[in-house]
Amino acid sequence: MKYFIVTYGCQMNVHESEKIAAILEKLGYQPCEKREEADIIVFNTCAIREGAEERVFGNVGNLKKLKKAKKDLIIVLCGCMTQKEETAQKMMRTFPFVDIVIGTFNLPKLADYIAAVKQGRQLQIWQEGDIDESLPYKRTSGDNAWVNIMQGCNNFCTYCIVPYVRGREKSREEQNILNEIKQILSEKKYKKITLLGQNVNSYGKDLKQPVSFAKLLKDICALEGDFKLSFMTSHPKDLTDEVIDVIANEEKIEKYIHLPAQSGNNRILALMNRKYTREKYLSIIEKIRAKIPNCRITSDFIVGFPSESEEEFNDTLSLVKQVQFDSIFAFMYSPREGTVASKMENQVPQNVKNERVNKLLQEEKRIQKETGKR
């Protein structure tokens, strides 16, 4: 029996696919190179932008032929896109040949669902659950081991679907994280540990006995072993001086921070509910540069947020010029149903978004040439 997993979206999803792989291997499935060879195909989906969802729709549609040729083929859709009830239902309607559609909280029971399908049932389930500490991972990222430190997000940036599909922030107990990393290090295969969370800087605030992200970093660095530690993603509103100091002082921590700015304009930042200003963002960059020379800094930007004017977009351009990031990701704003921004007036036309994203990327290229940064 063979399995094939297709993963969309962020590192969290990549890591979650490692969990899916472990569940399938426990059931006796082995990985295979091509979906044509598989007895079970899993699509671990992403809902962050419309483009991501369209790709999933297209690729799931293409599985129909395979299912016709192989009646016993099991097709599973999971992840952020299918956590949305309406989307899950639409997928079931559009693709009646799909066997299992589950949300982001249902993975712990995947083995039971597969057993039910083998007895002839079709399943569609999504419900809130808790962090499952017992599921193993089949690590697939070479000498890097991903370690989830928290799930969900409380920030509700007005453009973003993540809080709706991943629920509220839930931190793992520090001891569980430390134990997992000790176990990873004892295998002697991994040189890099990457901590994952939508907003790692707010780690531990929700625990019964709160633990700060800075303490977690220090405690991990104190573990024996030769490894490099990194993490993503940091939210500028929560990146404390203490965390910057820990990055500066701990040899094991990579000198790299991904710090999404999203916009360089204060009116747009406020509309996005980012809870910082351009000035605050720049002051954090200054602090990082002062305390951690040679720190690589990267960022994400959204262009064409509802009502963004040309001048306001120019503020984003000027921020990129000013900071000289090592690299940036530039996204065209994509309205996500259910979010606050999708209901805002003055949505920016697609051609303007295209122009702005191109301008931003060109500016970025120009700066990289000029500064010799990659």
Q: How far apart are CA 140 and CA 18, in angstroms?
A: 7
Q: Which one, of 96, 69, 66, lies nearest residue 77 by Cα? A: 96
Q: Please state, in angstroms and rounded to a whole number, the distance separating the CA atoms of residues 62 and 57.
A: 9
Q: Where are the beta strands (DSSP E) in 118-199?
A: 123-125, 144-148, 150-151, 170-171, 192-196
194 scored as a contact of ligand SF4 (CB under 6 A): no
Give the pair of three-digit tokens for residue 314.
């120019």
47 lies in the binding site for ligand F3S (CB under 6 A): yes
Asked if 4 touches ligand SAH (CB under 6 A), the answer is no
Q: Measure the CA–CA gap between 159 and 305, rounded to whole angstroms.
A: 8
Kindly write out the interface string for residues 116-155 of this chain, putting x where it contacts ligand F3S by CB under 6 A and - elsewhere: ----------------------------------------
Q: Does 196 bind ligand SF4 (CB under 6 A)?
A: no
- Asked whether 280 and 240 are in contact (CB, 8 A), the reply is no
Site for ligand SAH in 198-237 (CB under 6 A): 198-199, 233, 235
Contact of residue 156 among ligand SAH, ligand SF4, ligand F3S, none (CB under 5-8 Å per partner type): ligand SF4
Strand partners, 298: 258, 327
Options 43-51, 54-62, 257-265, 324-332: segment touching ligand F3S (CB under 6 A): 43-51
- Sole window of 57-65, 91-99, 153-161, 359-367 interacting with ligand SF4 (rule: CB under 6 A): 153-161
Of 137-145, 155-163, 218-226, 366-374, the window that binds ligand SAH (rule: CB under 6 A) is 155-163
75 binds ligand F3S (CB under 6 A): no
Q: Over the range 217-249, which residues count as b (16 or more CB within 10 Å of their CB) and which as e?
A: bbebeeeeeebbbbbbbbbbebbeeebbebbbe
Residues at the site binding ligand SAH, with contacts judged by CB under 6 A? 48-49, 159-160, 162, 198-199, 233, 235, 260, 262, 300, 302, 331, 333-334, 336
